[in-house]
């Protein structure tokens, strides 16, 4: 006959098992939910364009905000002085190039004259019948021709140096002009940070621009979720996709200290960015 104490032990075991099963039923949904993530559909890249020059903003086209700008200038910084200086520099370059061409022709003529004078001097210096005066005159003529030739060669080198300096100045002016026009090509202008009449200096933020040629999802996963994750399929809003993980950070996030940042690149949404999507790895 089974004692009362044995019945009590069996009853406690049954109650304990029942508690474990009930607890498991409560924990199971939580475990499943833990592997479901929600991420915001973000632009592939977002940058803040800053000015690299100083100047007065003469135009800031606010009408482009919130639009994909195909190929247009959204901000124009005063470049009139640069344009005038560039025109003057280009004229100076043209003049110097003409001067180099003319002096090069003169150098060719002087070179031919020098060769003749040298030949004449070489011949007469060897003649025993030639007087000292003739030989001296031949040497003076040869020396004068050589001096003229070397002088014109030096002038050409000086002109070439001037040309290099002018071309460098031209490049700097053109670079300054280019930097004073903020032109966007197939980029989304999120916000203009300057207005007409503002004076900007180098490093002054001008505009926030997004690249929406594609989109990305940013997730923060625990270390155990990363195990074998690259071999799993990515489900978005319960639909299996062909997307793959693009980046996994090896250092945990400074904000979510026990999680690691993960990025998934996806196609540009057909409706709008910033919506939440459900992401699962199976």
Buried b (16+ CB within 10 A) or exposed e, 19-50: eeeeeeeeeeeeeeeeeebebebbbbeeeebe
Residue 184, classified by CB atoms within 10 Å of its CB into exposed (0-12), middle (13-18) or buried (19+), is buried
Domain ranges of the chain: 36-78+184-281, 80-178
Per-residue pLDDT of the chain (282 residues; tens, 9 = 90+): 445 555 544 545 554 554 545 444 444 444 444 479 999 999 999 999 999 999 999 999 999 999 999 999 999 999 999 999 999 999 999 999 999 999 999 999 999 999 999 999 899 988 988 899 998 899 999 999 999 999 999 999 999 999 999 999 999 999 999 999 999 999 999 999 999 999 999 999 999 999 999 999 999 999 999 999 989 999 999 999 999 999 999 999 888 888 999 999 999 998 889 999 999 999
Quick check: pTM over 0.85?
no
């Amino acid at each position: 006959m089974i004692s009362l104490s044995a019945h009590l032990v069996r009853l406690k075991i049954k109650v304990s098992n029942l508690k474990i099963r009930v607890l498991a039923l409560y924990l199971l949904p939580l475990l499943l939910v833990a592997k479901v993530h929600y991420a915001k559909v973000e632009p592939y890249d977002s940058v803040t364009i800053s000015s690299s020059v100083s100047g007065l903003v003469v135009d800031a086209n606010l009408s482009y905000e919130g639009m994909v700008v195909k190929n247009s200038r959204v901000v124009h910084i005063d470049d009139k002085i640069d344009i005038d200086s560039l025109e003057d520099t280009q004229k100076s370059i043209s003049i110097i190039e003409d001067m180099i061409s003319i002096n090069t022709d003169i150098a060719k003529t002087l070179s031919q004259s020098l060769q003749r004078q040298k030949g004449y001097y070489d011949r007469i210096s060897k003649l025993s019948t030639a007087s000292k005066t003739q030989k001296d005159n031949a040497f003076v003529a040869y020396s004068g021709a050589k001096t003229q030739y070397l002088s014109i060669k030096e002038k050409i080198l000086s002109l070439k140096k001037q040309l290099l300096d002018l071309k460098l100045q031209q490049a700097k002016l053109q670079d300054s002009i280019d930097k004073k026009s903020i032109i966007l090509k197939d980029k989304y202008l999120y916000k203009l940070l300057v207005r007409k009449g503002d004076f900007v200096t180098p490093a002054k933020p001008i505009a926030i621009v997004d690249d929406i040629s594609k989109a990305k999802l940013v997730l923060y996963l625990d270390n155990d979720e990363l195990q074998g994750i690259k071999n799993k399929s990515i489900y978005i809003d319960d639909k299996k996709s062909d997307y793959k993980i693009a980046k996994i950070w090896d250092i945990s996030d400074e904000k979510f200290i026990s999680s690691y940042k993960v990025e998934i690149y996806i196609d540009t949404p057909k409706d709008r960015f910033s919506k939440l999507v459900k992401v699962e790895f199976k």
